[in-house]
């Protein structure tokens, strides 16, 4: 590695509620090359661990230890980068789930951007505080780098008004209460991977603990299942997805639940976990269902049906579907879920394992996609 290249590395940080995933990328001919990746998991718990791997899968560092905070994980990471690559990244890219109404494009992080993120707090109370904290810590630790925010909502800025605007008085839309959509970086990475092979009418299904679908016309998002927040859409691991709004009114009146209690109920105790008495892990659910557990079976059925109904609706919206792509942890690894989803879509020509290839499984590359955006922004800033 030339000294010049060493200085051109981009560090990508992808923070979850109790985890921090990261990747270090260097420029290659016409894309980004992964140098090392890893994750700090179980932050704040006693069974925490930090693992860093080289691109070829070699483990460079594995520590089972209590990591008190993301800061601690970041400091360890920065030490390792200096040791392994004698390098400080020239840019750091942050995945930000929600930027609120005004932050809809990937951009350099300035004081103004931080202020706007703070203003957008109530749009994503679970996601924005840890993201801001991480940004503040990373700018201290990686002082020489330029920091960029990449938003999971940016890809859906192309939604037409009929998809973006909610059936509420218009003053709410003016205040930013609209459909934002999420998993945008994942969807962008699929568009990039497919390149010229992406047909005009496509549906992407990002199925993980959080799950959403997106309808694409000529590579642009025209509809998506998640809404104002990542709680909307199909039932997920622990999130309810869409509900009759009357259910919330009922819970507020009959059970006197306040916003915080509703938040916990809808985001942490519902979805598959609601159907299956607290179990939200797809592998565990499949195993239980195979052993005759009716609740697990119902959870699987409801999940697959939610996905299938959405695909049917998007077929009507797009006037047909030329390609269906599954991605995300469940989408990539659960043949059972893919089979259940496609069972009944043969009339659309969508058949799992079809040699004509209208149904595909692709690995999402969110971190790489963030690195690509950072590289473009970095170069644009220099020119």
Which residue out of 144, 152, 218, 260 is catalytically annotated?
Answer: 152
Helices (H) and strands (E) in the chain, counts: 15, 13
Is 21 marked within a binding site?
yes
Is 331 marked within a binding site?
yes
β-pair partners for 127: none
* Residue whose C-alpha is closest to residue 231's, from 259, 193, 200: 259
Is 237 marked within a binding site?
no
Cβ(9)–Cβ(35) below 8 Å: yes
Is 332 marked within a binding site?
yes
Is 312 marked within a binding site?
no
Residues in the chain: 383
Is 330 marked within a binding site?
yes
Handedness of CA 114, 378, 6, 150 (dihedral sign): positive
- Annotation says 152 is catalytic: yes
Is 108 marked within a binding site?
no
Is 176 marked within a binding site?
no
Is 209 marked within a binding site?
yes
Is 366 marked within a binding site?
yes
Handedness of CA 27, 28, 31, 37 (dihedral sign): negative
For tokens 């560090």, name the residue: 11
Count of beta carbons in the 10 Å neighbourhood of residue 2? 7
Cβ(175)–Cβ(197) below 8 Å: no
Is 313 marked within a binding site?
no
CA distance 39 to 17: 13
Determine if residue 192 is left, alpha or beta; phi over 0 gives left, psi from -120 to 50 gives alpha, anything else beta: alpha
* Residue whose C-alpha is closest to residue 327's, from 193, 223, 233, 237: 193
Is 206 marked within a binding site?
yes
CA distance 374 to 379: 8
* Residue whose C-alpha is closest to residue 270's, from 299, 290, 249, 304: 299
Cβ(145)–Cβ(89) below 8 Å: yes
Indicate the annotated binding residues for ATP: 21, 206-210, 329-333
Indicate the annotated binding residues: 14, 21, 95, 206-210, 329-333, 366
Indicate the annotated binding residues for Mg(2+): 14, 366
Q: Which residue numbers are catalytic?
A: 152
Indicate the annotated binding residues for substrate: 95
């Amino acid at each position: 590695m030339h000294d010049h290249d060493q200085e051109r590395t981009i560090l990508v940080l992808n923070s979850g509620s109790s985890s921090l995933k990261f990747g270090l990328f260097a420029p290659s001919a016409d894309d980004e090359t992964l140098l090392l990746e890893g994750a700090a998991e179980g932050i704040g718990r006693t069974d925490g661990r930090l693992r860093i791997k080289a691109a070829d899968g070699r483990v460079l560092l594995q520590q089972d230890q209590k990591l008190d905070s993301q800061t601690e994980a970041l400091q360890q990471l920065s030490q390792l980068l200096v040791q392994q690559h004698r390098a400080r990244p020239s840019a750091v890219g942050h995945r930000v789930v929600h930027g609120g109404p005004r932050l809809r494009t990937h951009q350099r992080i300035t004081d103004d951007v931080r202020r706007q993120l703070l203003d957008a707090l109530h749009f994503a109370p679970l996601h924005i505080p840890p993201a801001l904290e991480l940004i503040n810590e990373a700018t201290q630790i990686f002082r020489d780098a330029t920091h960029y925010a990449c938003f999971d909502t940016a890809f859906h800025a192309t939604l037409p008004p009929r998809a973006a605007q909610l059936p509420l008085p218009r003053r709410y839309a003016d205040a930013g209460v609209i459909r934002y959509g999420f998993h945008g970086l994942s969807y962008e990475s699929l568009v990039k991977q497919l390149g010229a092979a992406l047909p005009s009418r496509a549906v992407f299904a990002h199925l993980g603990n959080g799950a959403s679908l997106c309808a694409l016309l000529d590579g642009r998002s025209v509809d998506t299942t998640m809404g104002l927040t990542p709680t909307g859409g199909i039932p997920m691991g622990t999130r309810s997805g869409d509900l009759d709004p009357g259910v919330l009114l009922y819970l507020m009146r009959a059970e006197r639940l306040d916003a915080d209690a509703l938040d916990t109920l809808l985001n942490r105790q519902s979805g598959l976990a609601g159907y299956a008495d607290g179990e939200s892990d797809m592998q565990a659910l499949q195993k239980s269902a195979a052993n005759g557990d009716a609740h697990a079976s119902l959870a699987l059925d409801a999940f697959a049906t939610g996905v299938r109904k959405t695909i049917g609706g998007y077929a009507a919206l797009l006037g047909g579907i030329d390609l269906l792509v599954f991605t995300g942890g469940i989408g990539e690894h659960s043949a059972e879920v893919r089979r259940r989803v496609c069972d009944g879509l043969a009339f659309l020509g969508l058949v799992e394992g079809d040699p004509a290839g209208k149904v595909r499984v692709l690995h999402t590359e969110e971190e790489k996609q963030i690195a690509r955006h950072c590289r473009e922004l970095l170069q644009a800033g220099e020119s």
